[in-house]
Amino acid sequence: MPARSNLPDLGRLTSQAERAVRYARTEARVLARRRSSALPPQTLVVATPHKVGSTWMVKLIRSLHLHRSPIVPKRFRYRGFNSLVDLAAPGVDTFLAEGRTSRLYKSHAQPPTWAVPDSVRFLTMVRDPRDALLSSAHYLANMADEFGEWHELVPLSTVERAHVLLDKAFFDLELYEAWTAYAHAVLVRYEDLLESAERELQRVVDHCELGAEVDAAAVHAAVEANSFARLSGGRQQGDEEASSFYRSGTAGGWRDTFTPELAQHFIEAADGRWQKLLLDLGYESVDDWPAR
């Protein structure tokens, strides 16, 4: 067996450097635009379950060049991630409310219990939970080494992984239930974003009252800059790459993967709460959808 090299992964370092340069350029454009803006500072938090399109949404909003995306201070980080804010951390309400520039954060935490000031806005997203389940099955297995958990998923098939997650991953179910009931957030469906990203991004602009700064041309440019082909390195929607964060960019893929046993497990899991969520969100209208 060849000896393991102690040299750094040059490809990964190059990718990180390129991301850092893009980040710095975007931050500079935001700051330059904010200096000429008459809008008061605002904090927008994209808070969602996992694998529902939140990273895409953050990229779309960042491309409007009105919000900075600074690193989250350690005391406010969700599970230690410097890109995620913990909405239950002591003092986070003051931190989010008192920024001198408009900021954009992402979160996978539960909704806040504190009173939301006018300077803080929330956006949440949902996706057909069956598609999100399969997306998580791929993602968690691919990221098992980085996260230090979910190694049990790696040797399993996609269907077997989905069975495991239905039994163990209650955190996303709770996020779906809590954020869809939260009155202070505008809700965007992943499927609607796929159908018309410009329309849904305009809804976000309206929710944040950014109309004086963002016109239709700016929305169109943001969508064009963040198309699936650009984000995936040239692939078209539906051209799946299982190891990619941007796996396929489509909706309804669960129909090609769900077995009758997995469908029944989904219906019964968590005392029927996944099934109730599916119906409440309108992704199905009848209880016996597997038979259709």
Q: Give which of 200, 20, 184 is closest to 114, Cα–Cα.
A: 184
**What is the mean pLDDT of the segment spanning 3-27?**
56
Model pLDDT, residue 86: 98
Number of Cβ within 10 Å of residue 160's Cβ equals: 14
Kindly report, residue by residue over 27-75, the tens digit of the pLDDT. 555 555 555 555 688 999 999 999 999 999 999 999 998 899 999 999 9
Model pLDDT, residue 210: 85
Would you list the domain boundaries of the chain?
20-291
Report percent pLDDT > 70 for the chain: 78
Model pLDDT, residue 1: 39
Q: What is the rounded CA–CA span in Å between residue 258 and residue 204?
A: 33
Q: What is the mean pLDDT of the chain?
A: 85
Model pLDDT, residue 2: 41
Which residue carries 């890109």 as its tokens?
A: 83
**20-291: CATH, from 3.40.50.300, 1.10.940.10, 3.20.20.70, 3.40.50.1100:** 3.40.50.300
What pLDDT band is residue 3 in, cutting at 50, 70 and 90?
very low
Kindly report, residue by residue over 249-289, the tens digit of the pLDDT. 678 999 999 999 999 999 999 999 999 999 999 999 998 89
**What is the mean pLDDT of the segment spanning 132-139?**
92
**H helical segments located in the chain:** 10-35, 54-62, 92-97, 129-142, 144-147, 158-168, 170-180, 190-195, 197-207, 216-225, 228-231, 260-280
Kindly report, residue by residue over 148-189, the tens digit of the pLDDT. 678 888 899 999 999 999 998 788 999 999 999 999 999 999
